[in-house]
Structure 1
Amino acid sequence: MVDSDRRTYLKATGSAAAALTLAGCTGGGDGGSSSTTGGTTSGSGETAIVAGTAPGFPPFEMVENGDLVGFDIDLLEAVVEQSDGYTLKEWQQYEFDSLTGALTTNKIDVIAAGLSIKEKRKKVMAFSDPYWESNQAILVRKGSSFQPQSLSDLAGHGVGAQSGTTGESQVQDLIDKGTLTDSNYNPYSNYVLAVTDLENGNIDAVVLDSPVADTFVSQRDVVVSTVVETGEQYAFGLRKGSDSLVSGLNGGLQAVKNNGTYADLKTKWFASATTTTTTTGGDNSSE
């Protein structure tokens, strides 16, 4: 894991980056090049990389008391520390569906945002080895008589999901099949906003990743009505051609699994999801 001084530095630079526009810096096509997104090779020969994420996807990434925190944040920092030849320069925050563009235009070097490996995404980015498996869940208000047991049960109801996520693709499939109409669907920039609308009765259900749904259940007046088996795998997203960086992160990921850090982070973020999730209206989210 990063030490406390480096954690403080990363938080400070991450907060500053959050205020930046998407007008970016230079970037190397290979993570092993002498210059990446605003970073240069240090005297020790290590290459500084910039990470992008999308808060509003607890407990993977979220903003608490102005700080960027979460499982993905801790995991990537630990992975980079264990990688060969790389250091983490800063975090930048985007809306989830802007992360791919930030990556492919060299504004960031790696995406750590509960990103599912998908064939469509493989056409525009490379992936690390997977680090998490997930399914989709249907979230409803606690005490509601509406308890859908399948996606098709959402017919005629207001449904929310985060733009660009697997949850949205599941809803879009229902629209394409005629099960839902466009007017039934409410897209959100992050799941915190979607769940708030669910609690307030503005929609009847939210479709989202099951571990994130479990976190909201522990914090909000919502329950999971059913889980849809999708067998997704999360991985870090990287630019195509960045073979050196992919290899470095895969080595670091294996190292944190071997030394017990990965298990410790799972316990920290998933054993009891009791922290309060916050986000600002302009902050971003994930899948």
Structure 2
Amino acid sequence: MSNNGRSRRQYLTTIGGTAVTLSVAGCASDTGSNGGAETQAVTAGTAPGFPPFEMKEDGELVGFDVDLLEAVIGQTDYTLSGWEEFEFDSLIPALTNNNIDVIAAGMTINDDRDQAIDFTDPYYTSNQAVVVRSDGEFSPESLSNLADRQIGAQSGTTGESVVDDELVGSEITESQYSAYGNYVLAIEDLENGNTDAVMIDVPVAETFAANRPVEVAFVYETDEAFGFGLRSNADDLTSSLNSGLSTVQDDGTYEELTAEWFAE
């Protein structure tokens, strides 16, 4: 999605955010001083290929989640040392193995994930969309219309859960479902005719529809909430991010970011 001619770093400067180097690896130390000259550094993890939340533009990691987390951390006593990139279903293992300290990847808060990690307060709500080719003859209006079709979704996402729970075994066979490491690959396969439809979060579907020959056929309501993921023992960091999130929601930064990244 266009950033209205401004770079992400220029935009962050206008809202008081902090730009970071994207190639720094490693996780934060648990030691540091609160309120002193030193601050604790955290490493963030994400999964590019989920526009407008996180994607690569000219080799740079950009997106709503990137800007929002940087703005939130800028309101805390922590600093952001850098970003690490993974496939979506590798993010929670990376977090629990201490390779990263926070997940910012449009991750839905659900019971299964909540057993492995903690989440901040929700920062975005979404539903699922079924995307098809714009020039195709396939125009489904409900899940039942997807019967015997080749369906795609990103591995480890809510979209995949909907396909598994609602379609596989009843409307489609396991061989009619294709899992992808990211949604860019899924949409490319859709464009090339290798799949008939892709299950994807609504704002991401709308971004693809604005830039590629695909369209949203219908929306399947899931009322899911996105949160930043953290280790279950990181109570101080969780509390700080919740406080920072509240601040950027109250001071207008969140509204500016949503207008920037989700503008029609």
Give the superposed CA RMSD.
2.0
**1:60 and 2:75 are equivalent in the alignment:** no
Q: SS at the partner of 2:159?
A: helix
Quote how far apart the aligned CAs of 1:176 are.
4.4
The residue aligned with 1:102 is 94
Matches of residues 2-81 of structure 1 in structure 2 within 5 Å? 2-3=12-13, 6-7=18-19, 10=20, 13-15=21-23, 17=25, 25=26, 33-34=30-31, 44-81=37-74
Q: 2:228 aligns with which of 226, 229, 236?
A: 236
**Cα pair 1:41 1:48 within 8 Å, conserved:** no
Residues 191-213 of structure 1, C-alpha deviation per residue, up to 9 Å, x if partnerless?
Answer: 01110111111110000000100
Residues 220-274 of structure 1, C-alpha deviation per residue, up to 9 Å, x if partnerless?
Answer: 00110100010000000000011110110000001001110000001110113xx
**1:172 and 2:164 are equivalent in the alignment:** yes
How many residue pairs get aligned? The number is: 252
Q: SS at the partner of 1:14?
A: coil
The residue aligned with 1:124 is 116
Quote how far apart the aligned CAs of 1:56 are.
0.1
**Cα pair 1:2 1:81 within 8 Å, conserved:** no
Q: SS at the partner of 2:83?
A: strand
Equivalent-residue separation in structure 2 for 1:26 and 1:215 (angstroms): 32
Equivalent-residue separation in structure 2 for 1:90 and 1:185 (angstroms): 35
> Which stretch of the first structure deviates more once superposed, 246-255 or 175-184?
175-184
Gaps of 5+ in 1: 18-24, 273-287
Gaps of 5+ in 2: 1-10
The residue aligned with 1:213 is 205
TM-score by length of 1: 0.83
**Cα pair 1:15 1:67 within 8 Å, conserved:** no
Equivalent-residue separation in structure 2 for 1:76 and 1:86 (angstroms): 12
**Cα pair 1:112 1:237 within 8 Å, conserved:** yes
Equivalent-residue separation in structure 1 for 2:186 and 2:252 (angstroms): 35
> Match for 1:70: what amino acid?
G
The residue aligned with 2:187 is 195
Quote how far apart the aligned CAs of 1:175 are.
4.6
Q: 1:249 aligns with which of 241, 248, 253?
A: 241
The residue aligned with 2:7 is none
Quote how far apart the aligned CAs of 1:149 are.
1.2
> Which stretch of the first structure deviates more once superposed, 218-227 or 142-151?
142-151
Equivalent-residue separation in structure 1 for 2:115 and 2:105 (angstroms): 18
Q: SS at the partner of 2:222?
A: strand
> Match for 2:22: what amino acid?
G
